[in-house]
Amino acid sequence: MRREAAAERLPVPQKTEKSPRERALRLLGRREYARAELDQRLRAWGVSPQVAAALLAEFEAAGYLSDARY
């Protein structure tokens, strides 16, 4: 009985919404993506064209995204 009562008081973990940057970096951590392919993913998530372009430029500058490597 005591365990059940204690379990009922445990806080329920809240799902946190990840930013488009975090989501894209998670994808890039799994495999290479072409710029157009990652842009398509970002746009599907509702990211504006300006924000998507800035993120893609950031990833290319950091070496995380490269069409030549892809």
Domain with residue 63: its CATH number is 1.10.10.10
Would residue 6 count as lying in a domain? no
- For residue 46 the two structure tokens come to 């509702």
Contact residues for 45 (Cβ-Cβ < 8 A; gap 6+) = 20, 23
Does residue 4 lie within any of the structural domains?
Answer: no
The alpha carbon of residue 12 and the mean position of all alpha carbons in its chain are separated, in whole angstroms, by 23
Domain total in the chain? 1
Residue at 48 is within a domain = yes
* Residue 9: per-residue pLDDT: 73
Per-residue pLDDT of the chain (70 residues; tens, 9 = 90+): 555 555 567 776 676 779 999 999 999 999 999 999 999 999 999 999 999 999 999 999 999 999 998 7
Distance in angstroms (rounded) separating the CA atoms of residues 25 and 36: 15
Question: Is the pTM value of this prediction over 0.85?
Answer: no
In the prediction, which pLDDT does 52 show? Answer: 98
Q: How far apart are CA 40 and CA 43, in angstroms?
A: 5
Per the structure, the complete domain to which residue 47 belongs is given by 19-70
> What is the rounded CA–CA span in Å between residue 62 and residue 2?
53
